[in-house]
Amino acid sequence: MDDGLFARDSIFRRVNREAVLLLGGQRALLLQLAHPLVAAGVADHSDFLAHPLRRLWRTVDTMLRIVHGDRVAAEAAARALDAVHARVQGTLAERTAMFPSGTPYRAQDPALLLWVHATLVDSALAAYECFVRPLAADERERFHADSRIVARLLGVPEDRLPQTYASFARYVGETIAGGVLEPTPRARRLADAVLHPPLAFLPRRLADVGAVVTLGLLPPALRERYGLPWGRARERGFAIARSLVRATLPMLPDVLRAMPQARRAERARRS
């Protein structure tokens, strides 16, 4: 089995090996859904309201097969995702300040591809640095450089990609601060399904406890635009959750700490 697109000891693989990054997955979804055209595509072309976590896991699984798999597996995962995106197109039903009703959208739009990619990269870094450890400046730079390989594989044109981590962080920050991200009523319903997934074994009150982690990782500006409550009690709850995860993580066996896609790929390379 070849090493795939990334070196075995790359910081990109090490970060994306951690299962705790799933705690940042819902953050990435809320960032994506805050873009009206992304939210329209999700609502019009999926069963997201009924199965919000299923879409999250499909996205995570695709990304991890690209990160940890061999070159054939990585390219196959990218082609499969592109085939799904090819069918996602339509028009915006809800007007926003930046997008009038009837604005066309398509999932293969480079601007939308870049934003979705950026939410996954930024959320992975946010979760890792919150729950595992801070990264040094050179580690962030190498992580960003490898993330550009994934972005190009998924169809983001080279001239759209930020060249450095600083320019990537600036792009994310300016997008969040600007007027493009405006959660529509539809997006708010989708966001509620993310924070309170319709699972029979998970009462809404218990899901609300878990949502504190997502809200704690979410940029404050986006919490406000979604109308999601945040206060001292939730801030304390997030701080407690962060401390518990950081204390527990080093004691977990690899079977619990590492993503299954990473463990499978590592076993295949050893055989």
For a pLDDT cut of 90, what percent of the chain falls above it?
83
Separation CA 245–CA 256 (nearest Å): 13
Write out the H or E segment, with its range, that includes residue 105.
strand 104-106
**Torsion-angle region of residue 224: left (phi > 0), alpha (psi -120 to 50) or beta?**
alpha
Predicted pLDDT of residue 30: 97
pLDDT grade for 269, boundaries at 50, 70 and 90: confident
Task: Kindly tell me the sign of the dihedral angle through the C-alpha atoms of 126, 9, 269, 131.
Answer: negative
Tokens of 151: 């972005």
N-terminal to C-terminal alpha carbon distance within the chain: 9
DSSP annotation of 155 reads T
pLDDT at position 203 over 70: no
Q: How far is CA 215 from CA 6, 56, 97, 194, 227, in A?
A: 32, 17, 25, 11, 11
**Whole-model pTM?**
0.94
The pLDDT value recorded for residue 137 is 98
> What pLDDT, on a 0 to 100 scale, did the predictor assign at position 200?
47
Give me the pLDDT at residue 157, please. Answer: 96
Which of 64, 113, 111 is closest to 84 using CA atoms?
Answer: 113
Domain segments of the chain: what residues?
Answer: 11-270
* pLDDT beyond 80 at 209: no
| Calpha distance 74→8 (Å, rounded) | 15
